[in-house]
Structure 1
Amino acid sequence: MTRSSRLLCALYLATSTGLAWTAVLELRYGPLWAAAAFAGAGTVPVIAVVRELDLAEQRRAAVRPPHAPVATGAADALVRAELDAACCERWWTSLGADHDAGCARRVPRSSAA
């Protein structure tokens, strides 16, 4: 996690704490709807912290050291399954829109609208 991400997380948690405290004060001295509104708003910075942590994990996974082994087993199996599921070359190159004339999965187009 970068320094700016840590700073953002600290700000998010401080904001969430302030909103939670405001929700408690509104619950004690103010209207109930205001307490509920501040409690709901206090969860938004917590969601932002979770998102920052997830982004940091994705960044860490994307930047792999050069000496780290490449996990090819699962990726190769996924690519092999996708290639086996392709029925013809035209289907593959047209992103599933068209089929070759001799393709078994080809649905004939009718002229009826």
Structure 2
Amino acid sequence: MTRTDRALSWAYLLASFLTLHCAVVSARHGAPWYTAGLTAATLLLIGATVREHQAADERRATVVKTERAARLRALDEQRAIRRTADTLGHSCCERWWTSCGTQHASTCNSQRRTV
């Protein structure tokens, strides 16, 4: 949760306590419509606070998934690079490479020499 999210959550909570206080004062002075309206506003503000926390959790989960996917993608790329390097490392001469591994150059010192 960022600082802005926290500040907004605290503002929602403070506003909900203020409206709840106003609802209680309205109830004491015999104003049922004001009491009902202010109670509904309090519930909406509490719901907004809960939603802010859920949104922060969703953002955090998305960041974690994205980082995990990036790490897995990087590992897959590293494996592919290693496989390619191994394949290229096993080639012994240009003739062997261009003949798909069936012929060797006369200067090739490889043990894979075909006769």
Deviation at 1:67, TM superposition (A): 8.7
The corresponding residue for 1:35 is 35
Say how many residue pairs are matched: 70
Cα distance in 1 for residues equivalent to 2:11 and 2:30: 26
Q: Percent identity?
A: 36
1:22-49: CA deviations, max 9, x gaps? 0000000131111111111111111111
The question of 1:16 aligning with 2:38 is answered no
More helix by share: 2
Where does structure 1 differ by over 2 angstroms across 4 or more consecutive aligned residues? 65-70
Please, what TM-score do these two structures have when normalized by structure 2?
Answer: 0.55
SS in 2 for 1:21: helix
**Partner Cα separation in structure 1 for residue 57 and residue 27 of structure 2:** 37
Specify the alignment match of 2:7 in structure 1.
7
Tell which deviates more after alignment, 59-68 or 22-31: 59-68
Q: For residues 52-90 of structure 1, what are the alpha-carbon distances to aligned partners after superposition, in whole Å with 9 as ceiling and x for unaligned?
A: 0111011001111449987xxxxxxxxxxxxxxxxxxxx
RMSD: 2.1
What TM-score does the superposition give when structure 1 sets the normalisation length?
0.56
Tell me the distance in 2 between the aligned counterparts of 1:61 and 1:69: 15
Structure 1 gaps of 5+ residues are: 71-113
Matches within 5 A, 1:1-113: 1-64=1-64, 65-66=67-68
Q: Distance in 2 between matches of 1:69 and 1:43?
A: 42
For the pair shown, the structure with the greater C-alpha radius of gyration is: 2
Give the distance between the partners of 2:25 and 2:54, measured in 1 at CA. Answer: 32
